[in-house]
Chain A
Amino acid sequence: MNLWLIPIFPLAGFLINGLAGRRIPKALINTVAIGSVLLSFLWVLKVLFSAGSLDTAIGEHYFTWIQSGPIHIGCDFAVDRLTAVMLLIVTGIGSLIHIYAIGYMDGEGGYYRFFSYMNLFMFFMLTLVLASNYLLMFVGWEGVGLCSYLLIGFYFTENFATTAGNKAFIVNRIGDFGFSLAMFLIFRQFGSLDFSQVFNGAAGMPKEAGYGILTTICLLLLVGACGKSAQLPLYVWLPDAMAGPTPVSALIHAATMVTAGVYMVVRSHALFLHAPIAMDWVAGIGLATAFFAATIGLTQFDIKKVFAYSTVSQLGYMFLGAGVGAFSAGIWHVMTHAFFKALLFLGAGAVIHGLHGEQDLRKMGGLYKHMKLTAITLLCASFAISGFPFTSGFFSKDAILSAAYGRAPWIYWVGVFTAGLTAFYVFRAWFMAFTGEYRGDKHPHESPLIMTGPLMVLAALALGGGFINIPRWLEPMFPETGGENPVLVWTSAGVGMVGILLAWVFYVKAPDLPGKFANALGGLYRLVLNKYEVDEVYDALIVRPLVDGSRTVLWRGMDASVIDGAVNGVGARAKGMGAVMRLAQSGYIRSYAAWVVLGSVLLLLAVGLGGAR
């Protein structure tokens, strides 16, 4: 049913805008950019309606991409229930954010460049989601990495933007390295990269107790996922990635790309289910990331940084869900998180837009009366993320937590505590931005309808999105995990509300409390404020040695002496030979011809007479 049309539309948009964008008018650029994404959204809807109940995956084979020896990799797409969810998220949120971006990017330089990159990103993301074998998925995987690099470094004249882009790209390389190793192992193990064959093969294998082949594969996949989804220890690129334009942060670094890791893990659940140890790793890393990032989020003053760390921690939740076997809950959280986190970022974008680029919370405050719509929508999002009852976050987060409780109670408690932290810092940000006195110098104003419109749609989704029961939809793929335990649910919700209350106390009731606390536990506070010095540690431990090593050993030693020496040596020998050979080159064509005739005569003597006998 022509799945290929879904990614093709954005690709076309990318080509049109990227090639002709410099010449065509802005209105046309918008039409192409939005139109392409909307078209693929509509096509997704059409596909899903015509597909009926996707109990089994519907695959389409287009052409054989790589055919060499035993390796047979086709370019084929498949859609099943999981893919359907991801498709709807990507295209739906994507269209909203594209629309929003028209307003946000208005008057920015490189307008067409921005939209062509965005469309390219949509193309790769959809390829990633639709792919039905690991290699094609990897193509999308790398492609979205490329686009995120391009878009983080969108303001390439700023130094921090380019460095942030490089950081994101390089950190992702580590993850991709893991992913590719995993693919090699998978191929070696199952002789194919098609999901269906791999998973059937895995289903035939016993659960592994120790670190067997499956566990290795899963751990390597996990490394890849950590890189893409900013999990410990590879999360460092995501906060810096906020250097890009806010719609990018919303689309790529909150809603879609960073969830690719989760998607990949969930997609490979057949493998993970047979590697319990890997599952534990997933859960552990998820939990650690969630908590860790939440603590950092407490102290940040850059509004986008706050949301970035909350993204990291929410991704941690998703990994936790996947790790404890509640894959459907993880995907559910992917969806709800896409709603409210996109909303958070777009709202933050609206605030920044209204403040002409001001991002520091300390220079905000009292913005409520200036931008009511933004404030209210942001409030909805904050409620949703802090798991306020019957908002979207509430359902998905609690599905995860209760599953975690089924795994081991302490995980649950840490998760709940983290939920409290989340609620606290999100509302901290909200209060600091919208209540109290205006502390800034810029002149704030509300954003145009083209920006607030998507905000409202997303707000509705963030509030009501939880009633879309993803676990039931995914029932045939993932067995329903332990039923809801009301006690647990309300405990976590309660903790969330406590967090909100604390935030209110700290930042509205008694605004001088935070300072006191900071002084009270100064060392710890400063450590957290500096994000645990992780960047510095990485720099000292990894980056410096690499740079120095390559400068001394590889460049001076290897490249300069050995390789250049060899190359020049070869050149010199060739030159010497040529000096001898050129004696034969009289430059007179006819003597060449005579040589040719001589040669052909000899050939004929050899072959002809030989054959004649």
Chain B
Amino acid sequence: MDIALFIIFAVIALLCGINLVVQTHPISSALSLIGVMGALAVLYLLLGAEFLAAAQMIVYAGAIMVLFIFVIMLLNAGAERVTKTRQLVKIAGVPLIAVFLGIVAFVIQAQLPRSQLVWFGGFSGGGPRDIGIPLFTRYLLPFEVTSVLILIAIIGAIVLGKKEMD
């Protein structure tokens, strides 16, 4: 049951991720990113982080990606024109990524015992209450700082948006 769900949604996430990279039109990339996020939300649920799953949908899919799509629609951005990629990237890009992935995978496999298993309900500490209490006690300062950060971001966005550059 779990394994089926995991495989289904992992595959969805991977396909959407690949689609994000290969699509040339930003809006298709955006849609595939939304797909990734939805799939990840389900995986979060499997991992017992139900609040994070909902937050993922609200914040990422519901707000951030809507912003993206909004901007894409606003700028009416078309598909990319084909220009030459940079030298370094052309030469070293794929092998670098491959090496990177290889090492990370190797480290994961080497460091974590295979016996570690995940099953639904194995960890139910991800509810709103479980997150809220530490968030407002142990992590209060980071929380407040983040709120300040958001305030700054809002102001910055407004300023950038208002400024008339011409």
Tell me if A591 and B106 are in contact (CB < 8 A).
Answer: no
Given contacts A608-B104, A609-B103, contact A597 B110 (CB under 8 A): no
Tell me if B111 and A611 are in contact (CB < 8 A).
Answer: yes
Of B47-55, B81-89, B123-131, the one with at least 4 CB within 8 A of chain A = B81-89
Determine if B107 is an interface residue (Cβ-Cβ < 8 Å).
yes
Determine if A524 is an interface residue (Cβ-Cβ < 8 Å).
no
**Residues of B contacting A604 with CB < 8 Å?**
100, 103-104, 107
**Residues of A contacting B99 with CB < 8 Å?**
601
Per-residue contact bits, chain B 89-116, to A (CB 8 Å; 1 contact, 0 not): 1001100110110011011001100000
CA distance A597 to B94 in the complex (A): 11
CA distance A90 to B111 in the complex (A): 72
Determine if A469 is an interface residue (Cβ-Cβ < 8 Å).
no
The residue on A at minimum CB distance from B100 is A601
Determine if A573 is an interface residue (Cβ-Cβ < 8 Å).
no
CA distance A586 to B86 in the complex (A): 10
Given contacts A597-B96, A600-B100, contact A591 B107 (CB under 8 A): no
- CB neighbors of B among A598-613 (8 A): 598, 600-601, 604-605, 608-609, 611-612
Given contacts A588-B86, A604-B103, A608-B103, contact A594 B96 (CB under 8 A): yes
CA distance A609 to B96 in the complex (A): 16
CA distance A576 to B108 in the complex (A): 44
Tell me if A590 and B85 are in contact (CB < 8 A).
Answer: yes
**Residues of B contacting A590 with CB < 8 Å?**
85-86, 89
- CB neighbors of B among A441-495 (8 A): none
**Residues of A contacting B103 with CB < 8 Å?**
601, 604-605, 608-609
**Residues of A contacting B87 with CB < 8 Å?**
591
Taking a contact as CB atoms closer than 8 A, the residue among B93, B104, B107 that contacts A611 in the complex is B107
CA distance A594 to B110 in the complex (A): 27
CA distance A604 to B104 in the complex (A): 8
CB distance from B93 to the nearest CB of A (A): 6
CB distance from B85 to the nearest CB of A (A): 7
The residue on B at minimum CB distance from A612 is B110
**Residues of B contacting A595 with CB < 8 Å?**
88
Given contacts A608-B107, A611-B111, A612-B111, contact A591 B100 (CB under 8 A): no
Tell me if A591 and B86 are in contact (CB < 8 A).
Answer: yes
Taking a contact as CB atoms closer than 8 A, the residue among A586, A601, A611, A612 that contacts B96 in the complex is A601
Seed contacts A601-B96, A608-B107; 20 additional CB < 8 Å A-B pairs: A586-B86, A588-B86, A590-B85, A590-B86, A590-B89, A594-B88, A594-B92, A594-B96, A597-B96, A597-B100, A598-B96, A600-B100, A601-B99, A605-B103, A608-B104, A608-B106, A609-B103, A609-B106, A609-B107, A611-B111
> 10 closest pairs, A vs B, by CB?
A612-B110, A608-B107, A591-B86, A604-B103, A591-B88, A594-B88, A597-B96, A594-B89, A601-B100, A588-B86
Residue pairs across A and B with Cβ atoms less than 8 A apart, 7 shown, are: A591-B87, A593-B89, A597-B100, A600-B100, A601-B96, A608-B107, A609-B106
